[in-house]
Structure 1
Amino acid sequence: MRGTLRIFICLLLPIAVLAAGAPDPARAQQQEKRIALVVGNGAYAKSPLATTANDAGLIAQTLQAAGFDVVGARDLDGDTLRKSFRDFIQKAQASGPGTVAMVYLAGYGVQLAGENYFIPVDSNITRDTDIPTEALRISDYARQLAAIPLKANIVVLDAARAQPFIEGGQPIASGLALVEPDPNMLIAFNAAPGTVAPQEPGPYGIYAQSLAEMIRTGGLPLPEVFDRVRLRVNEASKGAQVPWNEQKISTPFSFFDRGPDAPPPEASAAQVAAIRSKPIRDLGVQDAYAAALERDTLPAYEEFLAAYPNDPMSKRVMAIVAARREAITWRRTYRTDTPEAYWSYLRRYPRGPHAGDARRRLAILTAPAEPPPTFAMIDYDVPPPPPEEVVYVDRPVLYFSDPDFGFAPPPPPPVYYLPPPPPDFVVLEPPLPVVGLFVLPQPIFVPIPVFVSPPVYVAPPPNNIIYNNIHNTTVINTVINRPPAPAAGVGAGAGPGNLAPAVAGRANPAGAAVPQAVTQRAALIQQGKAPMPPSATIQPTARPATPPGTPANVAPNARPSALPGALPGTPPGTTPNAPGTAPNAAPQTKLPAANTLPVPGSHGGPPAPPAGAAGTPPGGKPLPTATAPTAPGVTPPAHPGAPTTAAPGTTPPPHPGAPTAVAPTT
């Protein structure tokens, strides 16, 4: 008997050891690092852009919530922009193979001879020949990222706009050039190749807001995020804008996961798959238009035209087809890069968008403008355009909102293609006023749904306040670092006198860190060794009637949300750190909910106290904001103006300028 028991234990022990050592599937997955570079250029001396800096701030905030280590800035000149890119590529190289790198650029972009360029705010472009020297060629940096063994690369160009720089001489094609992504890369444009997005008054652009919405939805594979962005932008712009993306990423990636308590979708996955797999000719016209737009391929659009040639949407789809066919033809021409190729393009599109590019290349190749009699056309990937298409590409700029074409507004997409947006993400309030040069505007934070969170295998970035403090049962937590008071005789606006607090390290703890190159540039400006960029005088993001010197990281109307997965024993109103993260070194301050008193110095609130006023000693350094509570659940203010948290069921006595956060009753 004893021998039998010994044999049984010997057999059972290896099984127990294996079971104990079997890793959890989520934990067994390699930790994924996420890094991002976010730039919003809007303060151009010629034709400033109203939304691009705000858009960059919104995307930076959204990516931080998704676990990205974000560096971002606005209104960068050429030197600083190039250095920021180099720093980011070095960061990607040092980050390791389990890294997802994302670049988001908002501003003016142009194409020249098949290459896309991003325009710095200090560029001096008047002719086509100025573009290669004054602007950044995107492919130079995309190729460097693609050469690094990363998990995935995502490059988003929110820059397809009607350019104001080249007014005479040899014209250039509008919008951005159709490109092919490198392996392991996704490239996305805010408007289809060869087209431009309309000007927008703000506070945010449709594309950036739609991208932030789809990232926050959670549970969407990367291609579906951008497919839904295309549908949402087309719906919100009434057809005036059709985003584009192409990707060669085989590794699964999702910005957020959805928890088991997430609301069920409007249609089951089986129903959606059955509808989406149908040929377009077997769908109703509303579903057919949504299907063609979601697939976003030339065959899908042509299938729609064949099925519904007389529908009001056919003219709009024909314009999309015309732009895509011309873009494909030019890409094939440019990649061949021979006189025969450029003669072939000019034979198809003698007045096309890239006719000027073709003639420039012929001159560089020392080939005659006219082909010889023995000339033979090259083979293209697409057939030549029918006559009814040519009208859409024989013009300097192609707008899908052009009133000359009489386009009908598109129908809303069915819910199984695109669910309605969250109610609190339909109309976003303007961001808080920017403080200091280069610093991104901080959007008024809209809490992520409680059932959405970054995947558990994502390595939390260092000092990422948003990542650690998205959710809270009562209020939204953030870190408030009040900048030192300006020296005597120095104003509080954006200028050399207050650059140090604005750009040193993580100037806005709730926002993106400032790139090292931007910090160095600001220091040179402060020392008078570099010229002041246009962003020092052009502030398209500042709101009128806002007191100067408003802290950029105070959200007076931050909305409450609920904490998913709260740890047992966690007191109400506190936020535990995410698993595997270090505690925040800086003290936490509770911000008021939407119905509490406004923060001093904020929009709609009383003026901020000057340096040396109550709660701020001379010299501008704030007093500590954390003291031991005097009663269970009650945290008294450390100084006048500090927020107060009341015990359950109690109402704290308000004092002038003190925002109040009340814990939930039990």
Structure 2
Amino acid sequence: MHRTAIGFLLALTVSLGLFMNRAQAEARLALVVGNGNYTEVTPLDNPVNDAELMADTLRKVGFEVTLVTDSSQHEMITAISRFGSRLRAAGEDATGLFYYAGHGVQSFGTNFLLPVDIELQDAADLSLVGVPAQAVLRQMFSARNRTNIVILDACRNNPFVAIPDLSDNGLAEMKAPRGTFLAYSTAPGDIALDGAGGNSPFTEALARHLPTPGMSVETLFREVRVDVLKDTGNQQTPWDTSSLTVDFQFVPAKAPSAEEVELRQIWDTVKLSQDPLQVLLFLRAHPDSRYAGEARELLTVLMEKEAQPVVSAEAPPQPASEPAAPQTSERDMIETARREGTASAYQIYLDAYPNGAFTELARLELQTILNKEQSADPVTNQPPPEEAPVAAQQPSTDQDQKGPPAVIAFNAPLAMGDPEIASRSISELITGSPKYPPIEGLPEAVWKDKTCAACHHWEQANLCDQAKTYVADKSRAVAKEHPYGGAFKNALRLWAEQGCP
């Protein structure tokens, strides 16, 4: 691995270690309340289930959770007070979270959470028997910690519609104190659904998305809103408001593996080269990587540039020997092939434009599709059909037909193939220039006098891995598809069979 890659990995490891140490030092405290077994108003089926689901989800992402269910007014007030004390003691880096599922109502713009023992005959008594939602915000804000999250899955219905001055539906929108994220299961003044299953649509969606690595709290609740709208037929729209000053994530993004880091560095190098050959070789080596789509887009642009005729400013224009710029019909056909992603679509393009601007891209995609289809059938294990495009076949020589030497060594002459190949070792050849185009029809300016090792990132270890693939498919090893011809490819196969000495 390059020194830059090693340095990057070391820096990444140190950063992750510092992050983990800091994450361990930052307390995550949650108070989860679920009230459903009301004695004097309409009971609710799901709030206790919702609270238990949320408590379990929060524990899995590192929260220390206090779960309170079917609580009286005294029990709710006591739990909220203790939660505030613990949050104040945890320090400014702590994260506090309060979740409530159950009945909630508003009166004169003030929201109240209802304990299960509530009894109410007059709206004026609501503040005496309910629990003001502002009391929760006040306790959390008093801690002066950096991040607080309040989630209210309330407003299932209004149990006091018959009481004058309590006919408003849903909750009123509250102002979020600095450093607070406020989330409601539905829009202000609307009613949330309790849910036909074991959980409310809001809490079920929240528990599903909350463990997603690298998702900010704002993005999380946007995804929840999309799911709830879909699940309720647009009857319920979750709402949120924020005064956060940090980018909070319930689960930090996963650190990239060493392989992912190395692949990213390879792709960055290939992309900066603006060399269509290197992009083609990258796609051949990593056809299903996360960078394959970007690589195909870049290859299209580079191949189009290769197709443009070069006109000298010092001489009058000459008849173009290179293919003309692609016409609209050719662009449309290659875009159709890329969109469909089928072998037949790419073959149609190649039949129509055998020397077109995107011919090499089409051949690469077609060969990739055929290779996938072939590898999916382990019984036949046959090479691609004869009509499929293959690399240019070079005429055989007498040397190609000679028997191989007893031992193929990395640093010893091959002693097989034509004289130029036979007199050189593998280690010498991979630092030289190819004899034939790596891909049929590739312009000489792209591959001629290039270094094979630079294109393939060759070294003894990964070249041995590549050579081992020829051992299982001897029928293709002798075909002259390699830039050094079939004899060299056959030599690599024999070298791999002998353990790559």
* Structure-2-length-normalised TM-score: 0.47
- The structure with more radius of gyration: 2
Q: Which has the higher contact order (CA 8 A, sep 6+)?
A: 1
* Structure-1-length-normalised TM-score: 0.36
Tell me which protein shows more helix as a share of its residues. 2
